[in-house]
Amino acid sequence: MNGSFIRRIAVILGFAALCCSVHAAPAPVVILTLDGAVAPASADYINRGITRAARDGAQLVVLMVDTPGGLDTSMRSIIKTILASPVPVAAFVAPSGARAASAGTYILYASHIAAMAPGTNLGAATPVQIGGSPEPAAPDKPATGKKDEKNDKNDKSKKPDEGKPPETLTGQPMTRKQVNDAAAYIRGLAQMRGRNMEWAEKAVREAVSLSSEDALQQHVVDYVATDLANLLQQLDGKKVNVQGQDRTLQTSAAPQIRYAPDWRVRFLAVITDPGIALILLAIGVYGLLFEFMTPGMVLPGVLGGICLLLALYALQLLPVNYAGLALIVLGLAFMIGEAFFPSFGTLGLGGIIAFVFGAVILIDTELPGFGIPFALIVSIAALNALLIAAIVTVAAKTHRRKVVIGEREMIGMVAEVLDDTAWARVRGEIWRVVSKTPLQSAQKVKVLSRNGLVLEVAPLGNHDKGE
């Protein structure tokens, strides 16, 4: 009986130890990377990564940030996912030398935890002007050598922002709306996370930046860590409020899981490159053109249709200027028209000009990483010019070539008059002939024209004289 009791106690203690060991094992920490411009592909990667981390039971998502900024739509998509995430997100600007500029600053403010590595910076969050012409600079006052006392008094009574507002606050109403909207957006994020609201608004209105140490002193970020391990060590035991609930982090010994971009993200990153999208658009249009010109080849039509759909999908994710897209389509239409209605280069030249101007203004943003290289535009235009030159050359040769079918094919042929001078033999066929000069049997004549089943002819000696 004592042996049975001891065995039961041993089983119970072993089970308790197993439960304690399972309970002691901390949940994993998921690592995501935002490296480069904030674009549709990176937004898709981060959004799906946070969703997967919540599904896998992660206790924390660390977003390694090094970005010059990016598209507003992609940035807001990432921020919406962070705000709705059941897993706390720590944005970490690292390694040393990295930055969280423009859109990166908004993402940092939206995260539950904000951290930076030494030698990093953030800020310059002023919205880049999209479309339109540059704002006119304020006219300089003429140097009179005297001070306007009245103006000086007025200037003293004004606040700094009212006397001479920053450049981002002047100019067109649309720009002011964008700046005010961005300032209110980042200020709301700062209020939600308890961070420095005044500096956040200055980052938008005045495009100021901060180093990591200054950001920590001004309560813009929560931690400065040398590397990821140091950050996780600092976060161990800290409480984070997620959707109204406090959670205690156990990160010092937590396993780390890195989610690398999968094939879908890499593929999306490739096709959403503006240059690649332009190439796909050109290949798609020309593929369909060749299929229409030579029905039954199948491959050009299939390849062209796929490339055209991929290009349209990529363009609808990018900030496209529709005037530029219309010019590109018009230019391609003109170049296609050159193939079907040869104008000896007129339509083709107009198409190339429209294509170049359209490609230059196609992407409606000045953000880095989203422009179309001018060398690529010139290369595509040069290929189009070579194609049009080949079409014009073939058309010119065809125009000079003798007609071999139809009613005009017999013009210029030599016939032999039969005994009955109203008939002649041409290519072994008997044709009725008429002539302005008398004909003789067995005489050689040349066909001048054809009217139905009657040929107008002239003796060979008189043909050159027009008789």
More confident residue, 328 or 10: 328
Count of residues in the chain: 467
pLDDT in tens, 242-257: 988 999 999 988 999 9
Q: What is the pTM of this model?
A: 0.69
* Residue 119: both structure tokens together: 């030698």
Cis peptide before 95 (omega within 30 of 0): yes
| pLDDT classification of 15: cutoffs 50, 70, 90 | low
Q: 407-463: which CATH topology? A: OB fold (Dihydrolipoamide Acetyltransferase, E2P) (2.40.50)
Average pLDDT over residues 419-444: 86
What is the residue type of 363? I
Query: Residue range 90-111: average pLDDT?
Result: 95
Contact call for residues 253 and 235 (beta carbons, < 8 A):
no
Helix or strand or coil: residue 121?
strand
Q: What is the largest CA-CA distance in the chain?
A: 145
pLDDT band at 35 (very low <50, low <70, confident <90, very high): very high
According to the model, what pLDDT value does residue 210 have? 94
With contact defined as beta carbons under 8 Å apart, do 87 and 49 qualify? no
- Note the pLDDT tens digit of each residue in 139-151: 444 444 444 444 4
Domain ranges of the chain: 2-132+147-263, 272-400, 407-463
Asked if 5 and 236 touch (Cβ cutoff 8 Å), the reply is: no
pLDDT-derived band at 24, boundaries 50, 70, 90:
low
Average confidence score pLDDT of the chain: 81
Token pair recorded at residue 263: 């094939």
Query: What does the alpha-carbon distance between residue 178 and residue 128 come to, in Å, rounded to a whole number?
Result: 9
| pLDDT over 50 (residue 20) | no
Q: What is the dihedral of CA 34, 39, 45, 50, to 10 degrees?
A: 70
Beta strands in 67-216 (DSSP E): 89-93, 99-101, 113-116, 121-123, 209-211
Q: Computed over its alpha carbons, how large is the radius of gyration of the chain?
A: 38
Mark out the alpha helices in 30-147 (DSSP H runs). 40-55, 72-84, 103-110
pLDDT at 422: 85
CA atoms within 13 A on the CB side of 179: 22
Q: Average pLDDT in the 126-152 region?
A: 46
> For residue 40, what are the CA distances in angstroms to 65, 111, 126, 321, 383?
16, 19, 20, 17, 30
State how far the alpha carbon of 357 is from the alpha carbons of 60, 224, 337, 378, 381, in Å: 48, 47, 19, 11, 11
- Confidence band, pLDDT 50/70/90 cuts, at residue 152: very low
* Residue range 376-412, pLDDT digits in tens: 888 888 888 888 787 777 766 765 655 555 566 778 7
Pull the structure tokens for residue 386: 């070579």
Q: Looking at residue 100, what is its pLDDT?
A: 94
What values do phi and psi take at 91, rounded to 5? -90, 125
The region of weakest confidence among 109-113, 167-171, 292-296, 371-375 is: 167-171
Report, as an integer, the average pLDDT of 63-80. Answer: 93
Confidence of residue 165 (pLDDT cuts 50, 70, 90): very low
Measure Cα distances from 128 to 206, 365, 373 in Å. 12, 7, 19
> Residue 457 gets which letter from DSSP?
E
- Helical (H) or strand (E) element with 15: helix 2-24
Measured CA to CA, the distance from residue 429 to residue 313 in angstroms comes to 62
Instruction: Report, as an integer, the average pLDDT of 343-363.
Output: 84
Q: Dump pLDDT digits (tens) for 276-294.
A: 999 998 899 888 878 887 7
The pLDDT of residue 134 is 39
Q: Which residue has the tokens 């080949």?
A: 390
* 2-132+147-263 placed in CATH 3.90.226.10: yes
